[in-house]
Amino acid sequence: MGTIDIVYKVGAKAADREDPALRDWELRYSLRSVAQNAGGAGRIWIIGHCPEWLKPLPGVIDHIPVADPYRANKDANLTNKLIRAAMDPRVSGRFVFQSDDQLWLKPQPAERACRCPVYLWDAAGMDAEDWAAKEKETRWYGRLRRTVDALRDAGLPTLNFETHTPQIVAKEWAARLLDWDFGADVGYCVHTLLYNSLSGIDVISSANGYQVWAEAATTPEEIALRMGSGAWFLTLSNGATKNSALLHMIEQRFPTPAAWERETPEREAAAVELETFRHRAAALGAICQR
């Protein structure tokens, strides 16, 4: 095993889906992608919610329970989990910090894939009109704007590090987060706050094709095209799990259960129900095309 662990920050909402077959589905397949493609990685840590089907294996995968105390401030919960990982002596000095909706698409050394923080763009040139347009897309940009304003007021850089891909963290960096009241108001975006608060670290711009975004309307053909161009990671948007064709493609790409997976009767019954639904949907689609 390598020296760079992989830390998953998992919220309680992962278990709240109405469809039993999709509860913790993202985590299951993200972990399979790590097992298949993250070469030389160390231990895997699940911080936060841990599903019933995940069986801790000493030295391979383990669970650190952490609650989500902030109801309207998701990034404060993520920040708590990052700090908790940095405080645990069992976690490697540098670790990959990622979410359950991020999958590794191709074999690559974990140390190479996440060698330094990756940013999307510099928010220094954003004006009020630009932010207003962004905030119409999603309220999340209000949190990013608050983060950028705080960094600018402190005389710090304003690069947007919210790539929604795995990112590298060194334990000693986490202390800088304690300089900020990240639990107040709507909070701050954790990666943008952290990396811009540091000095003297190497960062790189996200290259074209670095990741594939999958949404509710994204077709498997579009995903395959982007993957063929060399994308490293697949990021699932909030609506991606409503795309049955996309889910099927991911299940086909990562079909082998990992050593830490154990089935439950509820999971088996839900999987059968989901597969039956997919067959019926496909048959109905064929009839409608006649």
Per-residue pLDDT of 150-189, as tens digits, reads 999 999 999 999 999 999 999 999 999 999 999 999 999 9
42: helix, strand or coil: strand
* Superfamily covering domain 4-288: Spore Coat Polysaccharide Biosynthesis Protein SpsA; Chain A (3.90.550.10)
The reported pLDDT for the residue numbered 209 is 73
Close Cβ partners of 262 (under 8 Å, ≥ 6 residues apart): 53, 54, 55
CB–CB of 104/33 below 8 Å?
Answer: yes
Q: Which residues pair with 8 in a beta bridge?
A: 46, 98
54: helix, strand or coil: strand
Q: To the nearest 10°, the Cα dihedral for 167, 7, 196, 107?
A: -10
Q: Which residues pair with 9 in a beta bridge?
A: 47, 99
pLDDT of 269 strictly over 60: no
Q: Out of 160-174, 201-215, 216-230, pick the least confident.
A: 216-230
Other Cβ atoms within 10 Å of 158 Cβ, number? 20
The ranges assigned to domains in the chain are 4-288
Q: How far apart are CA 37 and CA 254, in angstroms?
A: 10
Per-residue pLDDT of 12-42, as tens digits, reads 866 555 577 788 999 999 999 999 999 999 9
Question: Would you place residue 125 in the very low, low, confident or very high pLDDT band (cuts 50, 70, 90)?
Answer: confident
The reported pLDDT for the residue numbered 207 is 72
Q: What is the pTM of this model?
A: 0.88
Question: Would you place residue 139 in the very low, low, confident or very high pLDDT band (cuts 50, 70, 90)?
Answer: confident
